[in-house]
Structures are given as C-alpha cells and as structure tokens.
Amino acid sequence: MADDNDTDNESTGNIHVFDAGGDGRPVVLIHGWPLSHTSWSEQIPALKDAGYRVVSYDRRGFGKSDPGDAYDYDALTGDLDQVLKDLDLTDVTLVGFSMGGGEVARYVATYGEDRLHSVVFAGAVPPYLLKSDDNPDGPLTEDAAQEMRSGLENDRDAFFDDFTTQFFSAGDELKVSEEQRQEALALCKQSDQDAALGCMDAFGGTDFRDDLTKITVPTLVIHGDSDGIVPFEGSGKRTHEAVAGSELVVVEGGPHGFNVSHAAEFNRALVAFLEK
C-alpha cells in the first residue's frame, strides 16, 4: 500500500485514521471483518488517480486501532461520525465493505445525510444476515453463527486460515494468489480477540432493515455473485430492493473478497458511480 498520512484520533478511542490526501470529494473507506484499512490497498491508488481524497481507518480493535468498550453498531458508527467530524469532511461518499456496510446504514439512520454525497454497499451485510421467523431470507442460521463463534474461540489460527480461503474463493476455486491470501491472513491475526468476537456478534445479529429505509442519497450496491461469506441473494440483492433508486452491479465470479480478486472491475464500477 502507498504511504499515507497516519493520524491518531484520540477522541474516537484511539482510532487510527489514514488520509491518503487528494483535492477532490472525500471517499471514506470502511473495511470488512476482521481486516484493517490495508485491505483497501487495491482501491486507494485508483481513487486517488481519479481525483478523490481518500480516507480510511481501522475499526476499534483492528489494525492499529485500540480495542473499545463495546462493539455494537451504535458504538462503531459513533467512531465513524467522529472521524468525519474531526476531519471536517462534507460531500462524502461512504464505502462500506462487508461488515462496513452496517456502519453506512446505521450512520444514515442515526446521524442523517447532511455530510453525505452518496453511499456504497460492497459485499455488505445489510439488510439482516441472521435467519429468523421474521427474516426468513437471512442467509446466516443460528447454528452457523454459533459454529463460527466457537471456531474463533477454540482455534483462532485455524479459523482465520479457513476463513481467508473462503473469503477469496468462488466455489472451491481460490481467486487470488496465495501471497494475497497470506496478506489477508496477517491482517486477521492483528485483530484483538474480544473485538473480533464482539464484531462477529454485531455483523451477524444486527437488523438494518429499518436503517436502509432512511437512505435517500445516491446508492451503489456492488456484490460478487459467488460470495460464499455474505451471499448476494440474502444481502446485496435485498439491499438493492430496499433502497429506492439504488444502482446494482453484480460481479460475475466474484467471491467475497472481490475488491482484491476482481480489483479492476470493482474499481471501474466504483469510479463510474462516483463520477455521476
């Protein structure tokens, strides 16, 4: 990843903010679980080259950010709000990948759209992952959620090794190099265990259906059609249907980590949306 200006933001619980600079409209990148801002390394140069100011940060307990006292989406979105305020960012496009899409939805519902130009849900967890009687299309069963949690608790290294393989696989085919998978695995291992477990509970069990109804700014939903972690049918497709006027881009053969495996296609779609 290119060198960034590394800014410690004490008022957000020591959230590390990475401002890559640029004079254009700000694009704020919110990473997925259990990675860090470094997972946007394929996007940051492309967005800067397209003329945008690129800001990213490490979620509390991940990357270089200290753990926090809570990991529910209200707390996590409070961190995002503080980042925007501390940098005095306006006319912002929020780009939330996977878990990060939850912060995007909750931010609009909680803080409104005054600072926003547009939003992007990329392989994102809304509207509601957990399958239940009132959410029969949720792709995550209670049993599967408990199995994930137990796996992380019982053998962290083995869990992350398997997770990163699934993260970048379409079916049984790994769509990135082994070096790229190992880079992601190293990011996973940087995470604080309590943060990883708390955020797992949050992204798996938070209902964003009402939050999505509050979105009125231009919205892009981009998702891989071979996403085995956050399946398109249960997430991106439903988010697109829930946000009036949203645009939808489905990347053929794209696994969950399609911003890396299909970086050129992902970046073209993102920049094209930003230019509208």
Q: Which residues have a catalytic role annotated? A: 98, 227, 256
Enter the DSSP assignment of 31: -
104 touches 30 (CB < 8 A): yes
Q: Which amino acid is at 124?
A: A
Q: In whole angstroms, what is the distance from residue 266 CA to residue 268 CA?
A: 6
**C-alpha distances in Å from residue 85, one per residue of 12, 41, 63, 115:** 10, 24, 21, 9
